[in-house]
Each structure stands twice: as structure tokens, then as C-alpha cells.
């Protein structure tokens, strides 16, 4: 296990993704709060916007926003790196030297994705909640009141579910990115094709996995 390589991948894919995830999560939280404000205002239940933001941030917004961003940034980077190495016959050279490309290159990237995604998801959760708090502040609700409402309604189970989702999403993104990279064919367009296929397949499988999580939880709670 090459831990320095895992640390390099986490730094490159994680720390550099923070600005994009910050803006995206904040805007999603703002939009959700704004969309819910009008119907809640008609019912005189604006405080329940905090509940909606809390539930959605922990259960869906945080994991999905992070997964989509990482699929576009990190998953595509994995596919491009491994695809370029295959086109340049570097993978064959590693095999000739007695090094297994799966253990030497792929495993580190998958582990890095699984470790990185929950950390970025937690950050995305907080930023989306901040977006909701900004909108609710315009309705006259103090931030401390919003905080207590979210803490009172959102349970530990919701947070754990979001973390479980993020770990699975990280496994999907890392695995698909490396798989598409290893499946790169010959030709000048091969790397670009593999990168595109990696992003599309990762996002589709992430959404499918999220749907399965929701369906299983609904059945178990009946």
C-alpha cells in the first residue's frame, strides 16, 4: 500500500475541490429555501423550512452534490490518468516489471475516493445549511433559533445515512473512473471517450444507488 500516493490523490482531488463544492452547496441550499418559502409562508409555517433544509442537507444534498462534483473532477481524472498510461503502454511496462497495475495504481485511487468523499460530504452538508440559514434570516428568524430547530428535528440516523451514502458513492466514483481508464482503447480520441464514459456512468450509478438507499429505508420503516 502506497500511502503517500493516497495522500497525494486526496489532496489533489479533495482540497482543490473545496471552492467548487462550497459555491455549489451554498447555492443549492439557497434555492431550496427560496422555493419552499412561498408555500410555507402561506401556511404560516416558515420555521419548518429549517427542518426541510436539515433533512435534505444530511440525507441527499450533501452526498449527491459531493458525488456529482467528484465524478466530474476526480472520476474523470482517474480515467484520464490511467487511460493515458494505457495508451502510452506504461501499464504494460509495469506488468513487465512485475508490478500489478491494480495494486500499484487502482487500489490507491479507490481508497482515496472512499476516504475523501465522506469528508467533503460533511462540508457540503454544512454549506447547504448555511445557504438555508441565509434565506431564513431575511424572514426574521435568528440563526440560533434555526440551529435549535434543525438539531431538534434532524436525528443522528439521518447523519449516519448521509455518511453511508457518501462512502458508497466514493467507491462507485473511484471504481468506475479506474475501470474506464483501464478499458481505454487505442487512438487519439480514446482517452477523451473513456473520460466521458466515466463521468456519465458514475453519475448514473450514484443516482441509482441513492434511489436504492431511499427505497430500502422506506421499506424498513414501514
- Region of 98 on the Ramachandran plot (φ > 0 left; ψ -120 to 50 alpha; else beta): left
Cα separation, 95 vs 119, in Å, equals 34
Confidence of residue 206 (pLDDT cuts 50, 70, 90): very high
Q: Which of 18-32, 40-54, 133-147, 204-218 has the lowest mean pLDDT?
A: 40-54
pLDDT at 158 exceeding the cut of 70: yes
8 A C-beta contact, residue 56 and residue 157: no
pLDDT for the residue numbered 88: 82
pLDDT for the residue numbered 204: 94
Confidence of residue 220 (pLDDT cuts 50, 70, 90): confident
Confidence of residue 94 (pLDDT cuts 50, 70, 90): confident
Cα separation, 107 vs 103, in Å, equals 5
pLDDT for the residue numbered 138: 81
pLDDT at 3 exceeding the cut of 80: no
pLDDT at 15 exceeding the cut of 80: no
Which has the closest alpha carbon to 117: 173, 196, 36, 40? 173
pLDDT for the residue numbered 176: 92
Distances in whole angstroms, Cα of residue 195 to Cα of each of 43, 67, 190, 191, 221: 48, 16, 9, 6, 39
8 A C-beta contact, residue 180 and residue 201: yes
pLDDT at 173 exceeding the cut of 70: yes
Cα separation, 129 vs 55, in Å, equals 10
pLDDT at 149 exceeding the cut of 90: no
pLDDT at 101 exceeding the cut of 80: no
pLDDT for the residue numbered 222: 63
Domain extents in the chain: 3-216
pLDDT for the residue numbered 47: 77
pLDDT for the residue numbered 221: 74
Mean pLDDT of 112-123: 90
Mean pLDDT of 130-156: 83
Which has the closest alpha carbon to 55: 36, 76, 71, 82? 36
Q: What is the overall mean pLDDT for the chain?
A: 85
- Cα torsion angle, 175, 122, 11, 75, sign: positive
Cα separation, 63 vs 164, in Å, equals 9
* pLDDT tens per residue, range 26-55: 898 888 888 887 777 777 777 778 888 888
pLDDT for the residue numbered 209: 93
Amino acid at each position: 500500500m502506497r500511502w503517500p500516493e493516497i495522500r497525494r490523490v486526496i489532496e489533489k482531488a479533495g482540497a482543490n475541490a473545496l471552492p467548487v463544492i462550497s459555491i455549489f452547496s451554498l447555492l443549492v441550499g439557497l434555492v431550496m429555501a427560496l422555493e419552499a418559502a412561498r408555500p410555507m409562508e402561506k401556511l404560516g409555517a416558515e420555521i419548518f423550512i429549517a427542518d426541510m433544509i436539515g433533512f435534505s442537507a444530511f440525507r441527499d444534498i450533501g452526498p449527491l452534490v459531493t458525488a456529482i462534483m467528484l465524478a466530474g473532477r476526480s472520476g474523470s481524472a482517474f480515467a484520464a490518468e490511467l487511460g493515458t498510461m494505457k495508451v502510452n503502454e506504461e501499464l504494460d511496462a509495469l506488468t513487465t516489471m512485475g508490478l500489478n497495475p491494480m495494486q500499484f495504481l487502482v487500489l490507491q485511487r479507490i481508497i482515496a475516493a472512499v476516504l475523501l468523499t465522506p469528508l467533503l460530504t460533511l462540508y457540503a452538508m454544512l454549506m447547504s445549511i448555511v445557504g438555508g440559514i441565509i434565506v431564513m434570516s431575511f424572514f426574521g428568524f435568528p440563526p440560533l433559533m434555526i440551529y435549535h430547530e434543525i438539531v431538534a428535528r434532524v436525528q443522528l440516523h439521518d447523519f449516519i445515512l448521509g455518511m453511508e451514502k457518501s462512502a458508497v458513492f466514493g467507491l462507485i466514483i473511484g471504481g468506475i473512473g479506474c475501470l474506464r481508464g483501464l478499458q481505454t482503447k487505442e487512438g487519439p480520441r480514446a482517452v477523451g471517450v473513456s473520460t466521458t464514459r466515466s463521468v456519465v456512468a458514475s453519475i448514473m450509478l450514484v443516482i441509482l444507488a441513492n434511489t436504492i438507499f431511499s427505497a430500502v429505508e422506506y421499506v424498513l420503516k414501514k
